[in-house]
Structure 1
Amino acid sequence: MKNKSFRADAIGSYFRLEWLPLLFVTLSGLVYNVGLLAGPWYEGRLAQCLADILGGNASSANMAALVLGYILVMLLVQAARFIKRFYVRRFANNINRRMKGILYAGLVRQSRASLEKEGAGELMTKAISDVDDCVEGMRKFTTEIFDTGVALVGYMVMLLVYDWRLALLSLLFTPVSYVCAARMKKPVQRAGAAYKKAAGALSAATLDRAQNAVTYRIHGCEDARAERYEDTLKNYETAAVRSSVQQSALPPLYLAVSNAGVLFILWLGAKNVLGTGWSTWDIAAFTTFLSCFTKLTVKSSKAAKLFNSVQKAEVSWKRIKPLMKKPEEFPELDIPAPETVTLKDLSFAYGDEPVFSGLSITARPGDIIGVTGPVACGKSTFGRVFLCEAPYGGSA
């Protein structure tokens, strides 16, 4: 917060503040993705080695060496993945804590009238759900840069190296899934916004029902309020289902569209193995190409899922952005050193009727003093007098 260039209403400022976790994410992400490219190659070599063993051209020792190398590479990949995800989670937790701190600081500085106008349910949704969704979108974006973006580029390059014509033909369907995801952006955002609004209305209705239950029962409108609450609940359930369908049902469709290119690989790749295609392949090349393509399509479906998460985060950010204002920094309080307090012949009266008189006491720094007495003997009045909130006699 002490960074003067920090802007609470700018997403980029949160990324800049978390540069150190992002540095670890970048380094471990690069190691992770380079290791991922080795996976299809090893799978192809293992398939070829098995075929050679069956043909009497290789031994089990060759297979064991490949398996050992594959295991070591995968262990390195998983270690890099663990480091990357650990720092991505730390990055997200830091931003979540910072955003909520700014949001709460802004809320406590608003007037009671403005808070009541906004509505308790709406504020609860913004302060909890919207911040969480916004941070989740930032986390997924940071994660998928490497899990999806860099990996996709690496897999594409690998496919082009093996057979660029077959690669281009089989990858024709992948951009189609991206286009579909882009076209679904506005419907997903509308569904997400409607869900957020319904969640806020439900929170407000629940709070109102809990606070005013006795009042509604006394005035005989409990049944009407219960019916209205049920309508609010049904609207929330409908909005939640629509939003969930938009976000959960579409990624499998994107994956199915991307996987359509496997038909070309099975047909033209088999020709390459037989020596009648565009390239000359062995079983290892065919297996590597097919494995690489399937991993690419899975990653591309995650990219479409990422689009949905980012769209959901955009909706939440638009809702909380007006409240994301950097709180002013107050100067440190100049608290004087503790001193001895002496009360001498303290007295107080309501008109001509005295409450207490002749009170004398000396309180030193660190003393703990209790005031006891029966009800209505003047304990609270003594406290008011001690704080100079009421006129008194004597000296303090």
Structure 2
Amino acid sequence: MSGGPRGPMAAGAMAPQRASDFRGTARRIGRRLLQDRATVTAIAALGVIGTTLSVLGPRLLGHATDLVFSGYLSSRLPAGASQAEVVERLRADGQDRLADVLLGADVRPGQGIDFTQLGWVLAGAIVLYVLASGFMWWQGRLTTAVVQRMVGGLRDDVEATLHRLPLSFVDGTERGELMSRTTNDIDNIGQSLQQTISQLLTSLLTVVGTLVMMVWISPLLALVALATIPLAVWLTQAVMRRSQPQFVAQWAATGKVNGHVEEVFTGHEVVKVFGRQRDVREEFERRNDALFTSAFRAQFISGVIQPLMMFVSNLNYVLVAVIGAVRVSTGSLTVGDVQAFIQYSRQFTQPLTQIASMVNLLQSGMASAERVLALLDTELERPDVGPGGAAPLVPTQPVRGRVVLDDVAFSYTDAPLIEGLDLVAEPGATVAIVGPTGAGKTTLVNLLLRFYELDAGRITLDGVDVATMDRQALRRCFGVVLQDAWLFKGTIRENIAYGRVGDVDDAAVRRAAEAASVDHLVRTLPDGYDTVVDEGGGSLSAGQRQLLTIARAFHADPPVLVLDEATSSVDTRTEALVQEAMGRLRRDRTSFVVAHRLSTIREADTIVVMESGRIVEQGDHDTLLAAEGAYARLYAAQFAGTAT
């Protein structure tokens, strides 16, 4: 495409180069989740209830252990004696340690185990665990709903953002990288949150609940269990600081691999023609190796957390078991208390281990979220604003098609491309734009359609500044055929009718196809106008695709036509037919024709010759030839080359 670089490449530098903002990204994702406050509140309430029931379970099991232990001791003691008398005898015999154990237990000499009470306790524990499981299942279901709604809303926002991104951003960004953010990264966010958010909430509630129960059973053992927490937190933070940049690099590398694959697949024929398969493989291997390295480092470093936390958990278990046994031997605690406390210590450290093991998922999800949010934060097209800040203008009268460019200036970068350009296109006139490659011809078309905003000057349509018009309303006034013919996946009928909003009129579609000299081609296809073409129209030749895009412009029936090398891919005979058809189409319409074949624009009302972003000549064909200037040199060079 002529006219210089298509937007500053810096705009497309999407791979994150700065350090990851884990907390900031997590807060923004959290705010999105909290948009569904009712469901989030229900999730939290269900988590509290389910966790509370689960936490009460070990206490009941500890009581059951005490019943068994006390009943067993009672059965070994002589009936008729009281607990105090048995303890007194043991102390008299010098068995103080055993006396302390009996003193701490609920012993009734000669009675044995109370199986009725034991049965009720065990039944209560089963009911608690069943209810806890039910509440946790309900919580998981609601969590799935709220996460998927959030991810769906994120996709909607990304889709809306993509339609409002300036063309400079799209031009300067690899399509594969952009697709990776809108598909892979969003999917990774959903999967990460789905696997962690419910478990994270449950784990945090379990830590709080078990801590309360541990303090209730034994404040001393609770302090012992808490002594290992600072070590666990320090280890987790140390690992996270090293793994998070690797997750960011992993997903950036994923985007680069996708971009390379998409680019090579799109240009597969060119790669084959020029025998660059080896270079393509080497480039893929280089990017794939970078992805492997970053992914390996991210997963390995984050994976270290779980064994470290298991070590801390086992250390905590040993301390609790040893000190708990000493406390039982002194009668300060019962065996059931120690058993319950050991369960609680496991419940206390297990959530910490789970949280640590979820760190890699959270970091991966937040790395993807950062990339998606960066896309949402991209500066969008300038909002449509009418005169004086009012609503943008929408044509209410039929557009006549008078287009005026007044002292227009524009540049993609700091280097100016177009300066002081003035041009008037009267209604129904055909303006041909010619000039060498890079002169700014296609850029001029982009400015007419407001794909880019002017640096200075203004463009008016029927006296109305296009900068004050609604973009969609403005672009509906133009029918455009670009040199890059593009078809969407669908039937030929749908592709031709794409340029007009509303119901598809089969008769109008056929008339447009006949005008573009493509009706005969369509009728030779097996399914005619119902023939399905793939994305990009790869099953058709370049000339056939261009004829269909010309038919699309015919069907749109706009007041202003823009033809950017619209016949560059058709043969000479078809070009003659299309030129005749476009002559009919241009009748009573303002037309801008960008052309390299000067033979196709000899009948234009005005021919504009551009060089280095300026109009150096304008007039009709005969006048410009007679002037023996830039146009005459272009014309002579083109036809001299043909003759040679």
Alignment TM class, shorter chain as reference:
0.7 to 0.9
The aligned counterpart of 1:14 is: 32
Aligned to 1:292: 344
Give distance in 1, aligned partners of 2:176 and 2:587.
47
The 1:386/1:130 distance shift into structure 2, 3 A limit, reads closer
Deviation at 1:304, TM superposition (A): 2.3
Once the two structures are TM-superposed, the CA of residue 145 in structure 1 deviates from its matched residue by 5.4
Question: Secondary structure, in 3 states, of the residue corresponding to 2:338?
Answer: helix
Aligned equivalents of 1:115, 1:294: Cα separation in 2: 53
367, 374, 387: which is aligned to 1:322?
374
Q: Which gives a bigger RCO, structure 1 or 2 (Cα 8 Å, sep 6+)?
A: 1
Matched, 1:169 2:244: no
Deviation at 1:123, TM superposition (A): 1.4
Pick the aligned partner of 2:135 from 72, 75, 80: 80
Higher CA-based Rg: 2
Matches within 5 A, 1:60-209: 60-135=115-190, 142-144=197-199, 146-209=201-264
Matched, 1:214 2:289: no
Please say if residues 134 and 313 of structure 1, whose CA atoms lie closer than 8 Å, have aligned partners that are also in contact: yes
Residues 61 and 366 of structure 1, relative CA distance in 2, 3 Å threshold: same
TM-score relative to the length of structure 1: 0.78
Within 5 A, what are the aligned runs for 1:241-280?
Answer: 241-275=296-330, 280=332
The structure 2 residue matched to 1:230, chosen from 279, 282, 285, is 285
Q: Deviations over 1:212-257 (max 9, x none)?
A: 2221121122112112212222222222222221233322321321
8 Å CA contact retained: 1:46, 1:67: yes
Q: What TM-score do the two structures reach when normalised by structure 2?
A: 0.49
Letter in 2 for 1:387: D
* CA deviation map 1:328-360 (0-9, x unaligned): 8999xx9x9xxxxxxxxxxxxxxxxxxxxxxxx
Instruction: Give distance in 2, aligned partners of 1:386 and 1:301.
Output: 63
Indicate the RMSD between aligned Cα atoms, in angstroms: 3.5
In the alignment, residue 88 of structure 1 is paired with which amino acid?
T
Identity of aligned residues (%): 15
Closer, same or farther in 2 for the Cα pair 1:192/1:369, shift >3 Å?
closer
Counterpart residue type for residue 252 of structure 1:
P
Matched, 1:283 2:301: no
Q: 1:222 to 1:172 in 2, by over 3 A?
A: same
Deviates more, 1:379-388 or 1:233-242: 379-388
Aligned residues: 354
- Contact residue 33 and residue 147 of structure 2 kept, 8 A: no
For the residues of structure 1 that align with 2:218 and 2:351, how far apart are their CA atoms?
20
For 1:141 and 1:255, the matched residues in 2 are separated by 19
Structure 1 residues 20 and 158, CA gap change in structure 2 (3 angstroms): same
Q: Which moved more, 1:378-387 or 1:199-208?
A: 378-387
Contact 1:137 1:310 in 2 (8 A): yes
Shift of 1:180: 0.8
- Deviation at residue 74 of structure 1 after TM alignment: 0.8
SS in structure 1 opposite 2:294? helix
In the alignment, structure 1 residue 42 sits paired with structure 2 residue 94? no
Report the AA paired with residue 225 of structure 1.
Answer: V
Structure 1: which 5+ runs fail to align? Answer: 1-8, 337-364
By how many angstroms is 1:138 displaced? Answer: 5.1
Distance in 1 between residues matched to 2:239 and 2:359, nearest whole Å: 9
Q: Distance in 1 between matches of 2:229 and 2:164?
A: 50
The residue number in structure 2 matching 1:302 is 354
Task: Find the residue that maps to 1:58 and give its secondary structure.
Answer: coil
Kept in 2: contact 1:33–1:146 (CA 8 A): no
Correspondences of 1:334-345 after superposition (within 5 Å): none
Query: Which residue type is aligned with residue 318 of structure 1?
Result: E
2:371 maps to amino acid: R
